[in-house]
Structure formats: structure tokens, C-alpha cells
Amino acid sequence: MTQTQDGTARRAVIEAALAEYPDLTSETLADVIAWFRKEASAYDVAMVASNAAIAERYRRFRADHIDRLTIKDLMKGVAFAAAIAVIGVLIIWRAL
């Protein structure tokens, strides 16, 4: 099987799981989340999103698990803001 066929087969597995959402086992849910976060290309996500048969469950899944801000996301934002603040302070200090 070529990589494209593997990707298509994998996407079909994910779509089948999403068709059952929210009634997924914790293992299946973790697999679907990992696929969206680490494996899926933009094309894969677009193909899943355009599947009318699972559209409502897909939107619910995205809202529940993918589009939410996590503590990790918030910490990255705080770290970035702190780095910018430190750079600003250093620039001002250097100018004095």
C-alpha cells in the first residue's frame, strides 16, 4: 500500500470513529485526538470536515477536544509575552 493509500485508509478509520462520537472508548478518543494533533495534514482535516455524513459530530468533537485552549497553550502564551516584555525592558534600559 502506498503512503497515500495508507493516509486514505487512516482517515477512513478516523471518520468512522467520529461517526460514533461521543460514544467512543477512551483509547479510540485518544487515537482520534492524536491523529488530529500529530498525524493529519491540512488536506486530511479538510476532507474530514467536508464529510456531510459526520459534520455535526465532527464539529462537536472539534469544540470539545481540538479547538479548546489548554493549560499548555496558555503557558506558551504567557512565556511568549514574558519574553517580549523582557526584550522591551532590555531595549529601554540600553537606551538610558
Does 6 score more than 80 pLDDT?
no
Report which of residues 96 and 2 the model is more confident about. 96
Report for 5-19, 39-53, 63-77: range of highest mean pLDDT: 39-53
CA 43, CA 30: separation in Å to the nearest integer? 21
The predicted structure's pLDDT at residue 5 = 66
The predicted structure's pLDDT at residue 84 = 97
CA 61, CA 33: separation in Å to the nearest integer? 9
Torsion sign (Cα): 46, 47, 52, 58: negative
Give pLDDT tens digits for 19-55.
Answer: 999 999 999 999 999 999 999 999 999 999 999 999 9
Confidence of residue 87 (pLDDT cuts 50, 70, 90): very high
Confidence of residue 70 (pLDDT cuts 50, 70, 90): confident
For the chain, the structural domain boundaries read 3-68
Radius of gyration in angstroms for the set of CA atoms belonging to the chain, rounded to a whole number: 20
